[in-house]
Amino acid sequence: MTSENAEFQLKELHQLLNKYNYEYHVLDNPSIPDAEYDKLLKQLVELEKQYPNLITPDSPTQRVGGAALSTFEKVTHETPMLSLGNAFSEIDLRDFDRRVRQAIGDDFTYICELKIDGLAVSLRYEDGLFVNGSTRGDGEIGEDITANLKTIRSIPIRLSDSYTFEVRGEAFMPKRSFLKLNQIREENEEMLFANPRNAAAGSLRQLDPRIAASRNLDIFLYGMGNYGTTGVRTHSAGLDLLADLGLKVNKERQKCSTIEEVIEYIEKWTIERPQLDYEIDGIVIKVDSLDQQSELGATARTPRWAIAYKFPAEEVVTKLTSIELSVGRTGVITPTANLEPVTVAGTTVQRASLHNEDIIKEKDVMLGDWVVIRKAGDIIPEIVNVLTERRTGEEVAFSMPTECPECESELVRFEGEVALRCINPKCPAQIRESLIHFVSRNAMNIDGMGEKVIGQMFAHQLIKDAADIFYLTRDQLLGLERMGEKSINNLLASIEISKSNSMEKLLFGLGIRHVGAKAAKTLAEYFESMDRLAEASEEDLLNVPEIGEKMADAIITYFDKEEVKQLISELKSAGVNMNYLGIKRHLMEATDSVFSGKTIVLTGKLEQLTRNEAKENIEALGGKVSGSVSKKTDLLIAGEDAGSKLTKAQELGIEVWDEEKLLEELKE
């Protein structure tokens, strides 16, 4: 056989095998027996052995292969993968509907989809070829699990058209695969998986893709990271496009004109849920129009145009043995119930939050009571009610203390609040919790400095406030448990890196009351430096979009404290950045900019901006961001590890900038 004949036969086998794979794994309607598919695949394997130079990335043989990984690389999502707000009742749904109607009027349509209980993932296609897949991670940065996702046969390696985009979906383990897997693990005397979701997540985080391949996972795609280059104007049309391209989309979706129709859809699937071959834990409701989604916008964490209704949680009975108290970083005293261990929704539960004193009184909770518990949203354990009929008389009433359980200061309850608070600024528990918040991912993001490490440092009096973190030495860290040379090096390096964070990270980390991550970004962008913010008047603060009187008052009160002024001074001396390093979008105008009317493509990894931030900034200045390079492209922005797009742009003679040049122009 000549090389030309082999190439022709290989392409023919690719087309046939991809067609049969799609029929079997996506349409669930195979047209040939399994034995015939296996026969064709064997032919392809033999041909590729003879002509290894003809093996292509989209070959059906390339789904599983290569050595096991040593670790997962980080991947930055082009568009953030936001979480959804939750609804647990009809009241919550009608509240959501009311907010939507207040914002965009009555002329809109919802689309309802089953909420698959699996692991959220993002798939990256370039010119129709699957090139990268990652976990959701923190929404901005996930882990590269491409090799494992390639083992899911319902994910096409090549689409039926040459699109370049990110698509989002939920990878899951079908019930039949879950039962088979646990049966095998039981025979091998291995620990069983608690539920299909845990099994799917565990499978996709295996460093050896052959293990993931053996788990028979599946996927449903539910949207795109950015619809901009596709021409679709509704979410439902986007789902239809994904299906046309060969991606697996759940067919049980439904458009609804009113919230009553949404509730009917939910009631239907509450009943029919057990008949599915996969687990669902709720229903996702979205405004269908993409223009209206854009108009509604999003908070720092969740879109305002979508909500997830969570099915009522499984309820079980157990005994409450004791109640312990914890002190949060704002001084709030939170009671937590200790329970006799019990399995709820696949996991063992031993603790449940009681929230505050009013809840304890309202539910008439006593020590020794038998209680009904459930997981709110299948995540957070809570006490539903007390089985008073089971009381024997040996139960003991519980009352909240009058003194802080940590520092013994008198507790107070402010007017209009339900929480008891410790207002001692030197309370060890508050300081410890504040430090845990300061180093957290959304704040200073110091890797290797979790709750246990902070606890050790605090107990050994190595740190008493946030500034002390930046003065830690190797000798001090050597005295801590489980801190070897490598851990110390990594921690000190992470601390050093965090000094260069943009101002909003530090501002959020300081834990000013009412100032969340989104408000911190807005304030940092507006005032540009910590000094200017600290000197701002109430009038200055109220001029900032989305900053109200309560937040303004909290900011002024915070920066007026002498201990805060001292803290800021020590942070400065340690070399911690106090300035905003991002782009000042509130000063941008879309007229007469270098980007106006141009089509621009972003590729590679950007260091100072997320891909979404760069896109927003360019569009604010009148540019159009496209996902693929063509003759119509005016400019390519190339970050690190730029690949085929850079090559194509160079071949077409398109102007290429690096990130530094982009930042210069944006700041102009």
**Tens digit of pLDDT for each residue in 116-161?**
999 999 999 999 999 999 998 878 888 899 999 999 999 999 998 8
Q: What is the pLDDT of residue 34?
A: 65
Q: How many CA atoms lie within 13 A of 621 on its CB side?
A: 24
Sign of the alpha-carbon torsion through 371, 375, 381, 383: negative
For the chain, report the end-to-end CA distance as a whole number of angstroms: 62
Whether 115 sits among the annotated catalytic residues: the reply is yes
Q: What is the pLDDT of residue 65?
A: 52
- d(CA 596, CA 398) in angstroms, rounded, equals 67
Q: What is the pLDDT of residue 340?
A: 95
Q: Among all chains, which residue has been given the structure tokens 């295996």?
A: 206
- d(CA 393, CA 369) in angstroms, rounded, equals 10
- d(CA 501, CA 530) in angstroms, rounded, equals 13
Question: What secondary structure letter does DSSP report for 544?
Answer: S
Specify which of 108-117, 314-323, 547-556, 600-609 reaches the highest per-range mean pLDDT.
108-117
Catalytic residue among 115, 150, 310, 648: 115
pLDDT band at 590 (very low <50, low <70, confident <90, very high): very low
For residue 76, what are the CA distances in angstroms to 26, 45, 133?
A: 28, 35, 11
Q: Tens of pLDDT along 9-55? A: 888 888 888 888 777 666 767 777 767 777 888 888 888 888 888 88
Phi, psi of 42 (to 5 degrees): -65, -40
8 Å CB contact between 119 and 171: yes
Mean pLDDT value of segment 51-64: 79
Q: What is the pLDDT of residue 468?
A: 96
| Count of other CB atoms within 10 angstroms of residue 298 | 15
Sign of the alpha-carbon torsion through 433, 439, 441, 442: positive
Instruction: Print burial letters for 361-381: b (CB count within 10 Å at least 16), e (below 16).
Output: eebebbbbbbbebbbbbbeeb
**The pLDDT of residue 264 is above 50:** yes
- d(CA 579, CA 525) in angstroms, rounded, equals 9
Which of 142-146, 251-255, 311-315, 353-357 shows the lowest per-residue confidence on average (mean pLDDT)? 311-315
Q: Tens of pLDDT along 468-501? A: 999 999 999 988 888 888 999 999 999 999 999 9
Average pLDDT, the chain: 87
Q: What is the pLDDT of residue 258?
A: 95
Picking from 84, 100, 85, the residue whose alpha carbon sits closest to that of residue 258 is: 100
For residue 343, what are the CA distances in angstroms to 339, 369, 588?
A: 11, 18, 55
- What does pTM read for this prediction? 0.56
- d(CA 597, CA 549) in angstroms, rounded, equals 40
Domains in the chain: ranges and CATH: 3-62 (1.10.287.610), 85-310 (3.30.470.30), 315-397 (2.40.50.140), 428-573 (1.10.150.20), 587-667 (3.40.50.10190)
Strand order in the sheet with 110-116: 85-87, 306-310, 280-287, 110-116, 254-256
* Three-state DSSP class for residue 309: strand
Instruction: Print burial letters for 530-552: b (CB count within 10 Å at least 16), e (below 16).
Output: beebbebeeebbeebeebeeebb
